[in-house]
Structure 1
Amino acid sequence: MDINWSLVWELTLTLAVITSTAVTIFIFTLPSTFSHFHPHEAKEADFTDEDKKNPQRSGYAYFQKHKKEDGVLKVDASVQVVVLGDIGRSPRMQYHALSIANHGGRVDLVGYVDSEIHPDVLANRMINVLPIPPFPYETKSTLLFLLTAPLKVLWQFQALYHALGYRSQAAKWMLVQNPPSIPTLLVAQLICFFRNTRLVVDWHNFGYSILALRLGPRHPLVKVSEWYEGLFSRSATAHFAVTNAMCRVLKRKWSIDALPLHDRPAQHLQPLSQERRLEFLRTRPELKGQDFDLETRSWRLVVSSTSWTPDEDFSVLLDALVQYAAARKSDEKLPRLWAVITGKGPQKEYYMSRIQQLIQEEKLSDIIIATAWLSTEDYASLLGSADLGISLHTSSSGVDLPMKVVDMFGTGLPVAGWSKFEAWPELVTEGENGRGFQSAEGLSAALQDLFGGDRRELERLRQGALRECERRWDDEWMPVAGQLFRLKQ
């Protein structure tokens, strides 16, 4: 077969013209690349009278302390903090933004705004929240998911590219949450290349392992996702990972040297006094009409925060509560339970119908199950008022950790959690600040042991959780991320 070299040449030339035109458009339509010699600035006019009344929270105190004689603060560290998800449900990325701002950096926080954002983020004038529109169609069907996935990726690509390239100034750094990796890492690499921005990937988990929960580990899309995640992450300037175990996997899998940056509780999560607990619990609508004695605590409050997704099997908690209710009928030492479940997610309606069915079948006698979506302050108060926190996070990769446990430790709340994955011992020390379980029976046994005895074991775990809460987010963040971004103490 003869090759038509003339046609090959024409096609090659056409492709080269299209590629060069596209690159030219990218370069000239994006704002000018970042210059290290022209840092961002903060001025007196950036702060309102209300900001000046609360200078620590708004960043005005830092401005006053470090501004030059001309009244201008030169901001050397500018960071685009990117999460292709709901900002309000991404506490770690909000904590990143707050730490950067509190140490003199300017932040563009980019993501969806579907729920309440941390009030300190909104109050800080060094942080600019840039909302992006979410994909308008979501489905639970696997078939429809496969059909709409390409459209969703295109939608997210243009929304994220427009936000990072046109709606925000060029920054020295870009800090990207992973997962989701598609199309986040590709968009981030493009923007960073054209703007001379340094990319940092904050690894919370692996995108391909989460996709495998839905499609199966051998699905071709999972393999493509794994290849993509490695390809577009390797060339980043730096990497953070939530566990030492994840650092080891990144090194072995993709030769990535990541810095371990463990989650730690933020300052707003604090232990509560007995008076504060009672004050908060008296405001809860779930207890109206109940004969609970708040003073003597003849019952126990357990709290679980869930995203109602497949990587948190909520049926484990339901089955454990059914077993606990059955055991209570023959053991008078076991107290009544009030279980509060916080969070939003796709499987919530399904499990709520299951709860109603169990109540009708009288399998949850003397157990109140309530769901709630709380403000930042109320969530902290709920954790501080509880007797035990429960984590159902099973970890798709085996090397990530649930931040909800860190939040619980921040209030001195001991934890019972699913422990059947590699990284669990990095967070919870068995018998010291929490208990692990690997089945509904194991969780039920833990509840009976902790609540049916003489309270000494539960008190020992609480003391361990209080010791754990002494090291805070900024203590962990500053020596790692703060040093990387060259921020001041």
Structure 2
Amino acid sequence: MGFGKRNRAAVVVLGDIGRSPRMQYHALSLARQANLEVDIVAYGGSDPHSALLEHQSIHIHTMRQWASRDGILPKVFRPLMLLLKPLIQFIMLLWFLCVKIKAPDVFLVQNPPSVPTLVAVKWASWIRRSSFIIDWHNFGYTLLALSLGLNYILGRWQMELYVSQRQCNMNWIKFGESKPLCYMISLLSFFALLFLKKNTRIKKDMFKPEGPTDCISYGISIKDMQDPNTTLFTNKIGESYYDLKQNRPALIVSSTSWTPDEDFGILLEAAVMYDRRVAALLNENDSNGEEVLWKAIDDGNTFLYPRLLFVITGKGPEKEKYEEKIKKLNLKRVAFRTMWLTPEDYPLLLGSADLGVCLHTSSSGLDLPMKVVDMFGCGLPVCAVSYSCITELVKVDTNGLLFSSSSELADELMMLFKGFPDECDGLKELKKGVLDMGLSARWANEWEANAKPLISKVISGDVTSSVDLV
């Protein structure tokens, strides 16, 4: 039995649940560790992890997405539509939270977005006599909403889960509240250490017939594509043993929502710098550099610096723009692939990669990127953009490196991959650091110690008021 009167919880996400890993983990923990029936109210779009779909106590209720009319309506009507959108979302949320699902003991809502989510969930919690917990993934629009007078509406049953220690401290100082719980995100049990398990669907996405001809696709035939015993990186020997190819490229993974707050141009510029620096070190000129490289690949020879394959995952509005930029780069030792992976395939890719790159910077500078947590959970070291609280997650020279410019990222790529795959000691040390810090830290343990007691107190009525927003 759960510890609530109704033994139910509702997880609310005004977004694609398949792209909200943190809230998926909360839902699983509420079902598995708190023994609650869990209703998820969210938008559809991407499939959530199969663990949610298969769990008998988790019920997903999909709301209809707001359809964009930007390309249809005259400009004069667009301000009206911007006003109508949150109103319609508010009404739809109330309908789902007050009518479509059974009354829960507690609503757990992701923020941002704040408008109209927080108001709708607060009203629903009052109507259904439920508790109300906010998972502050980031402030973002929240501070704007508070400045517009939502302090009264948020009400007295509000409790918080914070992503970073700095975010926790900042809110404590700003609002003069009793110190909230800092629920540090930790490594996720979904992302077990997978190492060399290559997935055939990922392989096909890397080598499409209409895809580019570059240092990765060169020499790959249809026969190679259909051979289950070989990949770009490995040869299968026996039933379960994989032999790593000495002349394989280094595999680098980055996940992005392709939005303006992640400057993907930094990664492209760093790739160009790496490509040119390696060419200069080998004293190659434009006329024979490509020929020398491909002959070496055919002969099975390796270079002091390897080819780099960047696999960029995710969906978003600026994806096509950057794909066009990638096509024009004319790189000889660097290649890019963009793809969208299922929740099951994504950790397979991370577990097979050599390095992760994170371009995340938050609007508040106070949240921590879940993509880095995912990478660490697969034993993958990370190079990440430097900002205020990222050092709470990325420990320089222990589990990753930080950069502030494309030149710094290029320097790090040159340093980490020198002598790849056997003699890149810097990369191996970071890998060891990730494994050392990750084997004992898992989401379930942290949730049990920090989030579960909070939820129990809220449901039992031990916590009645925690915030005085001013």
Aligned AA (2:189): Q
Identical aligned pairs, as a percentage? 39
Secondary structure in structure 2 of the residue aligned to 1:239 = strand
Q: Which residue of 324, 330, 333 maps to 2:280?
A: 330
Offset at residue 352 of structure 1 (A) = 1.3
* Aligned partners of 1:234 and 1:254 also within 8 Å: no
Q: Using CA pairs under 8 Å that are at least 6 residues apart, name the structure with larger relative contact order, 1 or 2.
A: 2
Structure 1 residues 379 and 138: alpha-carbon distance in aligned structure 2, compared to 1, 3 A threshold: farther
Aligned AA (1:270): A
Q: Partners in 1 of 2:164 and 2:81 — Cα distance? A: 33
Q: Is 1:244–2:165 an aligned residue pair?
A: yes
Aligned AA (1:81): V
The match for 1:477 is 447
Offset at residue 153 of structure 1 (A) = 0.4
Q: Partners in 1 of 2:448 and 2:249 — Cα distance? A: 41
Offset at residue 226 of structure 1 (A) = 3.8
- Mapping of residues 56-135 of structure 1, within 5 Å: 76-103=6-33, 104-135=35-66
Structure 1 residues 434 and 462: alpha-carbon distance in aligned structure 2, compared to 1, 3 A threshold: same
Q: Partners in 2 of 1:110 and 1:143 — Cα distance? A: 33
- Mapping of residues 201-280 of structure 1, within 5 Å: 201-208=134-141, 223=144, 226-228=147-149, 230-233=151-154, 235-256=156-177, 257-274=179-196, 276-277=197-198
Q: Partners in 2 of 1:241 and 1:142 — Cα distance? A: 39
Aligned AA (1:464): G
Q: Partners in 2 of 1:111 and 1:293 — Cα distance? A: 39
- The CA deviation string for residues 66-121 of structure 1, in whole angstroms up to 9 with x for no partner, is 69xxxxx9975311110100000000001000000002111110100111111111
Q: Is 1:447–2:417 an aligned residue pair?
A: no
- The CA deviation string for residues 124-174 of structure 1, in whole angstroms up to 9 with x for no partner, is 111110111111116599998755321110121111111101101111100
Secondary structure in structure 2 of the residue aligned to 1:166 = helix
The match for 1:32 is none
Q: Which residue of 341, 355, 368 maps to 2:326?
A: 355
The match for 2:263 is 313
- Mapping of residues 29-68 of structure 1, within 5 Å: none
Q: Is 1:436–2:402 an aligned residue pair?
A: yes
Aligned AA (2:168): C
Structure 1 residues 175 and 223: alpha-carbon distance in aligned structure 2, compared to 1, 3 A threshold: closer
Specify every segment of 5 or more residues in structure 1 that has no aligned partner in the other structure, as ranges.
1-65, 68-72, 210-221
- Mapping of residues 174-213 of structure 1, within 5 Å: 174-208=107-141
Structure 1 residues 224 and 247: alpha-carbon distance in aligned structure 2, compared to 1, 3 A threshold: closer
- Mapping of residues 453-472 of structure 1, within 5 Å: 453=419, 454-470=423-439, 471-472=441-442
Q: Partners in 1 of 2:86 and 2:21 — Cα distance? A: 24
* Aligned partners of 1:408 and 1:414 also within 8 Å: yes
The match for 2:104 is 171
Offset at residue 225 of structure 1 (A) = 5.8
* Aligned partners of 2:6 and 2:104 also within 8 Å: no
Q: Partners in 2 of 1:76 and 1:252 — Cα distance? A: 36
**Structure 1 vs Structure 2 CA RMSD:** 2.6
Equivalenced residue count is 398
Q: Partners in 2 of 1:138 and 1:236 — Cα distance? A: 37
- Mapping of residues 275-314 of structure 1, within 5 Å: 276-277=197-198, 283-287=203-207, 289-291=217-219, 292=232, 294=234, 295-314=245-264
- TM (norm. structure 2) is 0.79
- TM (norm. structure 1) is 0.76
Q: Partners in 2 of 1:246 and 1:414 — Cα distance? A: 24
Offset at residue 326 of structure 1 (A) = 0.9
Structure 1 residues 269 and 297: alpha-carbon distance in aligned structure 2, compared to 1, 3 A threshold: farther
Q: Which residue of 93, 108, 119 maps to 1:160?
A: 93
